[in-house]
Chain A
Amino acid sequence: MDQNAAIAVNRFGLGALPGEMEAAAVNPRRWVLEQLDGRYVQPEQFRGFASTAQHRENYSYRYTVLARDLNEAQRKAKDAGDQNEVDRLGHLIARMLGGYVTWVAENFMLEYGARTNVALTTDKPFHERLVRFWSNHLVVPAIKQQCGVVCGAYEREVIRPHVTGKFSDMLLASAQNPAMLVFLDNHLSIGPNSPYGREKKVGLNENLAREILELHTMGVEGGYTQTDVIQLAHAITGWSSYPAADHAAYQRNGRTGEPVGKFVFHADWHEPGEVTVVGKTYKAGGVEQGEAVLYDLARRPETARYLATKLARHFVADEPTPDLVDRLANVYLAHDTDLAEMTRALVESKEAWAHAQSKLKLPEDYAISCYRSLGLKLGDGSVPPQSMYNFESYIQKKHYWAWLANDPYSLLTSKDPAQFTEPDAKRGAAIATFYADVKSMGQNPWNAPGPQGWYDRWGDWSGADSMLKRVEWSLAVAAKHADRMSGPVQYLNQSLGDLASPELKTEVARAASAEQALALALASPDFQRR
C-alpha cells in the first residue's frame, strides 16, 4: 500500500469507508481529482426538505401575520371582558408558536441527520469536504434563532451547486439568499435617502456589507475602509427576503404561487446615487449596482489570496507557504474565480502530499471518520417526506386543527392529521446523540460561533478537554461496534493504512480484545490527525 492512498482518503476525504483505501490506492491523485468532475447531483437524502424561501414564508407568516391577528383578537376580547376567549386565544398563540419552535428543532435535527448521512456514505468525500469548507466560509449558523431552520436549505441552494463552479456566483447566491440576508440583518437595511427611508425615517444596517468585505472576500487585512463598508451597504440596500415592512400587503395579497420568502429587491428601499467601493465607482441603479460590486470584489487579488490561504490552511498546513498561496491565487484569478481550477491546483501541488498527518481533524470530521471506518450511519430509513409540513403533528391538535381548517393561508397540503407521520423516534435519537457527542468535543455542528465560522488551526482544537472528550467518545463507540470490524490488523490497514504508526500497530495487535483493539485505533493520535 502507498502512503498517498492514506493521504488521499484522510487528508482530502472524510476517512476511509471499508474498501475505499484500496480503490484510492490505484491512483490516489486521480481518485481525488475525479471527484471534481461531472455535474453535481443532490444526494437522495435531501429529498423532501423545504427551501429557504418556504421556511422564511412560514416563519414570517406565523410570527407576523398570525401572531398579530391573534394578539389583536385577544386584545379585543380583553376589552370586551371575555376572559374565556382571552384564555382560549392565549392557548392558541402558545400552541402555534410553541409548536413551531418544537418543529424547528425537529427539522434541524432531521436536516443534520441527512447531511451527516451523506458524509457518512458518500463515495465523493472530497466533494463533501469542499461543501463543508465553503459552507464554513460563507457560513449561516443556527446561533440566530431564525437561521437554525434554514442551515440545510442554505447549504443546498448556495454552497453545494457552486463548490466546483465560480466563487463570484457562490458569493452572489449567498448575499441574495434569504438565510444570509436574515443572518446578517440586510433584509431590513434601508437606504436613508430612499423613498421608504425618508418617509419612515428608517435606515441602514451595515452588518452584511462589513462581513462581505472582512470575511467573505478581501479579508480583514484586505485594505478596505469604514467608508467602503458603508458604500457597499448602500449598494445592497433593498436586498431582502419577505415584505417585512408591509405585513398588511402580505396579508391582503396572501400567497401568489411563489413562496413570499424568496429573495426580493425593494427598489424603494434602495439608496439612490452612485457608490465607490475600494476605489471603483458604480453608477446609480437598482439591484445590478450591488451585483456589480460583488462580482468585482470576488475578482480582486486580495480576495484571491484570502481564499487561497484559507483553502491551503484547511487541507495542507496551518501556515501554508506563501509560494503555494501565490500559485492558488494566481490560478483563481486566471480562471475568473473558478473554484474547481483552484482546487485542482491544490491537489496537484507537491505540498498537499507532503508532511502527512500535520493537520488536526476538527471534532465533527473526526467523529465522521470514525463512523465511516466502520461503515456506520445514523439510523435507517429515509427522511419523512415533506418534513416542512410535519410540524402540525407536534401540536396538541384539538383546538388547533379546528382553527387551521379555516385558515386561508395554511401551508398544509392536507388538513387531515392522520396524513402526518411522526419522525421515527429511534432514528431521531441516533441523530441527536451523535450531534450532542460532537458538540461535547467543542464543535457544535451548524452552530459556528459567528460569521467567521470555525477556525482552522491546530491550536483552535487541541484543548485538553476537547481531546479527552474525543477519546471518551471513541471508546464508547468501540464498546458498541467492535463486531463491525473484520479483524484488528485488517481494520487498521483499511482505515489508516500506511499512516498507522509502528506503536499503534503493535498495541492493536496485542490488544486484550477486539473491543480494546478498536478503542485503541479510534482513540489513537494517528486517528486524530490527517
Chain B
Amino acid sequence: MTDNRKSDAALWNTVSSTMAMADVETDQRFVFIFLRGGMDGLSAVPAYGDPSFRAVRGVLADEAPGSGSPFDILKLNDTFGLHRDLKAMHGLYEQGELMVVHATCHDYRDRSHFDAQDAFDRGAVDKSIKSGWLNRTLQALPTRFRTGRSDVAMGLGPTLPLSLRGDESVGSWSPPAAPKADPDTLQRLGALYAADARLGPVLSKGLSAHQLGEGSNSMPMGMDGMSEGFGNAIAFQEYAKAAATFLSAPNGPRIVTMDFGNWDSHANQNQQNVRGPNNGNHGGQFAEMYLGLDRGIAALKANMPPEVWAKTAVLIVTEFGRTVRINGTAGTDHGTGGAAFVLGGAVKGGRVLADWPGLKDADLLDGRDLRPTTDLRAVAMGVLREHLRVPEEAFSTIFPSSEAVKPIEGIVRI
C-alpha cells in the first residue's frame, strides 16, 4: 500500500531532526509491553484493503468496516483496521493517541519464539550479550530521571524480563500475597542477606518496591489449570492499573515493563476471538486475549492523572508475526513481519506507519511470511530518542549491530 507509505513518510519528514535535546522536560513515562507468543499482526491489524487479504486469510478474514456484521473490522484508514475487540485502542487512534506500525520485525529471522523473544529483550540476536536493552538504556538516561527515586525502572510481574536484566539496578513488583512480616524478624533476616552478595541486594530491592506499591489492589487469581490465557488477560488489566499507580507516584519509576503471554495461535484462531453463546469463557484459550489487551490499555489511561498520561508513551511489541496464509488447522504458524503499537498522551498518533509489502505470493518472505519493511528497533529507538532523550550515540550499546538502523522521527509530540 504505497498510499500509506507516502503520506506517513511525508509526515516524518516534516519533523525537524535538529531539535534541542538538552533543555526539554525529562519527566516522561515509558511503558514497554511484550505480547509473548507471536501475535498475529494480520488479525490484530487486518489489511482489509489489500486486494489479496480475503483470499489469503480465508476463514480468518473478518468483515470490512461498515458491513454491519458483528465481526466488522474497526476502520483505521482505507487499507487497515483494528480487530473488533480493540475498541478502546481504536478510540485512542481516533483521538490521535495511537500509532500502528505494520509489517515490522526486529532483525531475528528464525521463527523460534524463545530465541526471538530473547533477541528482542537483549536488543541483539547475539547470545553472548547477557543484559537487556532497557537495562542498557538506563545507563544512557539523563540524570534528572534518576534523582530521588530508588528505581527508575520496574518490571511488573512475578519474574523480571530479560529486557530489564543487567548491571543497572531495577525494581520489580507483583501483588502482595502474604500478610506483612514481623519487623524484628525482617531486621535479623536483613543481616543474613547482607552477607550474601548475590541475594542480599535482591531482597532489599524487593522490600522497597513493596512499600511503594502499597495501596494497589491485590489481584484476582486467574483460572489456573484450565485457561491460563483468560487468567493472563485478567492479570494484564490488574498490572496495567498498578503500572498507572507506580508511574503517577512522584518518586515512582518512570519506566515499567509488562508481559502478556499466550498469543501463540496455531489452531482455531477464529474461535479464539469469537464470543458467541457457546464461546464465552470456553471458546479456546485466546477467547479473551484482545479484550484483555484493550481493557488493560484503557485501565492504564483511566488510572493516571491526565498530566501523567500526557507524558506517557507505551510501546507494544511481539516477537514476530505469523504466517500470512492460514495453516491446516484454521490457525497461523510462526512468521516474521507483524504489527506493533505506540500509544499514549505523548504520542502523535492517528496514523499507520507501514511500508506495505503486499500479500501476494511473490510479496511474501520465504513464500509464507509478511515481509518486514520497518525495523522494530527503529521504532524503539525513535521513542527512546525523542521521548526519553537518549542520545543517539548510545544506540550502538542499546541495540548492538544496528548501525544501519536509524531512529524513526516524529513519533511523539514534542
Contacts and interface: CB of A to CB of B under 8 A. Distances in A.
A475 B328 CA distance: 52
Interface string A461-505: 111111111011101100000000000000000000000010110
Contacts of B207: 468
A420 B221 CA distance: 28
Interface string B259-290: 00110101100000000011001101100000
Contacts of B195: 501, 503, 525
B278 A471 contact: no
A188 B328 contact: yes
A31 to B, nearest CB: 28
B340 to A, nearest CB: 20
B209 A101 contact: no
A462 B165 CA distance: 10
Given A467-B202, A520-B185, A97 B179 contact: no
Contacts of A90: 277
Nearest to A502: B195
Contact of A71 (B159, B171, B278): B278
Given A450-B114, A471-B203, A516 B185 contact: yes
Interface string A428-447: 00000001110111111011
Nearest to B277: A90
Interface stretch (A102-110, A327-335, A405-413): A102-110
Nearest to B164: A463
Contact of A472 (B181, B223, B262, B334): B181
B312 interface: no
B144 interface: no
Contact of A205 (B176, B202, B266, B282): B266
Contacts, number: 227
Which among B113, B205, B228, B229 has the highest number of chain A CB atoms within 10 Å? Answer: B228
B203 A463 contact: no
B13 interface: no
B224 A142 contact: yes
Contact of A450 (B37, B162, B174, B182): B37
A214 interface: yes
Nearest to B197: A525
B226 A467 contact: no
A523 to B, nearest CB: 5
A450 B112 CA distance: 12
Interface string B364-395: 00100000000000000000000000000000
Contacts of B114: 215, 220, 450, 452
A13 B265 CA distance: 38
A460 interface: yes
Contacts of B328: 188-190, 192, 197, 202-205
A105 B282 CA distance: 13
Which among B36, B172, B188, B285 has the highest number of chain A CB atoms within 10 Å? Answer: B188
A143 interface: yes
B333 interface: yes
B165 A459 contact: yes
Contacts of B181: 471-472, 475, 519
B184 interface: yes
Main secondary structure of the interface of B (DSSP, over half): loop
A145 B282 contact: yes
Main secondary structure of the interface of A (DSSP, over half): helix
A204 B325 CA distance: 12
A447 B224 contact: yes
B208 to A, nearest CB: 8
B226 A436 contact: no
Given A464-B209, A467-B199, A525 B193 contact: yes
A440 B206 CA distance: 14
Contacts of A437: 177-178
A93 B114 CA distance: 39
A4 B171 CA distance: 36
A1 interface: no
A23 interface: no
Contact of B191 (A475, A476, A507): A507
B95 interface: no
Interface residues of B, number: 73
Interface residues of A, number: 81
Given A463-B202, A501-B195, A525-B200, A447 B179 contact: no
Contacts of B111: 210, 226
Contacts of A524: 189, 192
Interface string B330-354: 0101100000000000000000000
Which among B173, B191, B207, B328 has the highest number of chain A CB atoms within 10 Å? Answer: B328
Contacts of A101: 226, 281-282
A28 interface: no
Contact of A145 (B158, B285, B331, B333): B285
A449 interface: yes
Interface in A397-428: none
A512 interface: yes
A207 B185 contact: no
Interface string A105-117: 1001100100000
B189 A104 contact: no
A283 B111 CA distance: 28
B259 to A, nearest CB: 9
A529 B181 CA distance: 22
Contact of B184 (A104, A144, A472, A516): A516
A413 B157 CA distance: 45
A452 B113 contact: yes
A462 B333 contact: no
30 contacts: A71-B278, A101-B281, A105-B223, A108-B226, A143-B261, A148-B225, A185-B331, A189-B329, A202-B328, A203-B328, A205-B331, A205-B333, A446-B225, A447-B224, A452-B113, A461-B159, A464-B171, A464-B202, A464-B205, A464-B209, A465-B172, A465-B174, A466-B160, A469-B177, A472-B177, A472-B178, A472-B179, A472-B180, A524-B189, A525-B199
Given A184-B266, A464-B171, 15 more contacts: A104-B225, A144-B285, A149-B226, A205-B266, A205-B329, A205-B331, A443-B158, A449-B36, A450-B113, A472-B180, A475-B182, A519-B181, A519-B182, A523-B189, A525-B199
Interface of A: 67, 71, 90, 93, 97, 101, 104-105, 108-109, 112, 141-145, 148-149, 151, 184-185, 188-190, 192, 197, 202-207, 210, 214-215, 220, 226, 435-437, 439-444, 446-447, 449-450, 452, 458-469, 471-473, 475-476, 501, 503-504, 507, 511-512, 516, 519-520, 523-525, 528
- The 7 lowest CB-CB distance pairs between A and B, nearest first, are A468-B206, A203-B328, A108-B225, A442-B158, A464-B206, A440-B177, A464-B205
